[in-house]
Chains A and B, each alone.
Chain A
């Protein structure tokens, strides 16, 4: 078991290194990308500041609390984006063009290989913005930073991340039957925007959908509201854990069934 974990993390490191080397291989592209990225993130921050300066309080949540929730929502999204972005390619072209072949002829788990093959440095921006928003509000909101809560905070992030990854896995796997499913992933993924704000601002339909069906609310608002109020840990945090477990289980089942139905492409 330990040996297996060691091997997995070693392969992960190697793949990340390969991807970073690939980035450096094209220097102009890399540097331009970095520059554009800085500009984008600066504008993004400005834009957020404009939006939030317009809404002092919302359905019982203070200005700072809303920014905290918003910042929190960026963290799992960024982690998923950083490590597991390659799932998009499955739905967009890997299956349709038959490029998925290469994962099946290697003695590595195809799901693992797809996940680790790409390392999306862009995501660092979302992560930094998320951390920044949390940092500026942390003194102004009433969070009990007990050891327990710090631990819970650290543990809930990977679970919230897996909600993203699970949804992407499920929708990407559809491509094994339909050949392309990138737009399906996109349609579901867009729902994450709802998670950035308190669910109480939505009507019942949307609230139920993002809580029970496409549970993006558990990636941000629910866990964040636990840290802000200390209420309902069972629902707010437990729900995140359960949603992550259920989505990843369904995702893996559909994925594994899908790989068996994979039809490759003529050559």
Chain B
């Protein structure tokens, strides 16, 4: 479905010295340097998959998405959707994709929402019957009827995002690009949007490429993750693989009984943890100890804790994806492990 092969993007950047004088200097004698935003990234997405595309700020995610949506021309490499290339036949390429940039809107700001849909229908040449069917479905999954007659400028962020997602799906694209679709939204709206994405994906077999900083989006929606950092591909695999490979972190939750104090537990000294391998938090009687289970097995941690303090309740939690990714972003685990 989507093939990305050795895609690369370089930008020319003018180096400016600070201050007005620096600006004047660079006006007459500009020094430029080449910045590689995306460096040789390849991946493949089969039809119907929801791919989580993640990476820290400035990793090059948006640049990749913009190349895949035909906005930017790659410096090298190729991307194709259904064998079509955005640089060769942009128009038929973009008919197959839908794009939502969470930070921008494609809706007609000053007009009622339904006007946007009416124009998009014409732009994408959607048949009347297909349009009606689609609007019914979108209405059902995204609850648009309450504000479809309101001017876009009066919509709340959550409504606007739902409206934008609907706008990108009107022409039944085969691939949907969602760049931070849940940014700045409350939990209920986030949930709503996730359910809608899952439903569209299921009903229409729409392939989805999703970038987000909210990892619950990924955990709830996608089975596969591509992670990039500094323009390079650092992980490509399923969420399960990610957990298996990097999920050595476990969390020990317990409640202290009586007047027990945590100070009697010297995990670091006892097991020789480095700072990154252990993290202890305490709130009242509740304590959370996050540790690397590759260094010390869970059993040993449990028996050491139980022997050191009085405990009224204890549980062990699996590593969550957020923790793994935090560590990956900080380069604590090696990518080729």
Contacts and interface: CB of A to CB of B under 8 A. Distances in A.
A105 B104 contact: no
Contacts of B73: 260-262
Contacts of B124: 107
Nearest to B179: A267
Contacts of B119: 14-15, 18
A25 B111 contact: yes
Q: Per DSSP, are chain B's interface residues mostly helix, strand or loop, or mixed?
A: mixed
Nearest to A10: B122
Q: How large is the interface on A (under 10, 10 to 19, 20 to 34, 35 or more residues)?
A: 20 to 34
Interface string B278-313: 000000000000000000000000000000000000
B66 A264 contact: yes
B90 interface: yes
A99 interface: yes
A104 B90 contact: yes
Contact of B99 (A18, A105, A107, A264): A105
Contacts, number: 67
Contacts of B111: 18, 21-22, 25
B108 A14 contact: no
B123 A105 contact: no
B95 to A, nearest CB: 5
Interface in B111-156: 111, 115, 119, 122-124, 151
Interface in A1-59: 10-11, 14-15, 18, 21-22, 25-26
A102 B108 CA distance: 12
A25 B151 contact: yes
Contacts of B99: 105
B11 interface: yes
Interface in B90-108: 90-92, 94-95, 97, 99, 101, 103-104, 106, 108
Given A25-B111, A26-B110, A105-B99, A11 B179 contact: no
Nearest to B90: A104
Contact of B104 (A10, A21, A102): A102
A220 B197 CA distance: 57
A60 interface: no
A155 B43 CA distance: 54
Given A262-B72, A263-B72, A106 B104 contact: no
B91 A107 contact: yes
A260 B87 CA distance: 9
Contacts of B179: 267
B123 A101 contact: no
A26 B151 CA distance: 11
A26 B110 CA distance: 9
A40 to B, nearest CB: 24
B92 A107 contact: yes
A139 interface: no
Contact of B69 (A25, A105, A267): A105
B87 to A, nearest CB: 8
Given A264-B66, A267-B179, A101 B104 contact: yes
A253 interface: no
Interface in A230-267: 260-264, 266-267
Nearest to A263: B11
Given A105-B97, A107-B95, A263-B72, A22 B108 contact: yes
Contact of A105 (B70, B92, B122): B70
Interface string A198-241: 00000000000000000000000000000000000000000000
A136 interface: no
Interface in A76-93: none
A26 B95 CA distance: 33
A263 B62 CA distance: 12
Given A11-B122, A14-B122, A261-B73, 8 more contacts: A22-B108, A99-B104, A104-B71, A104-B94, A105-B106, A107-B94, A260-B87, A264-B72
- 4 shortest A-B CB distances, which residue pairs? A22-B110, A107-B91, A267-B103, A104-B71
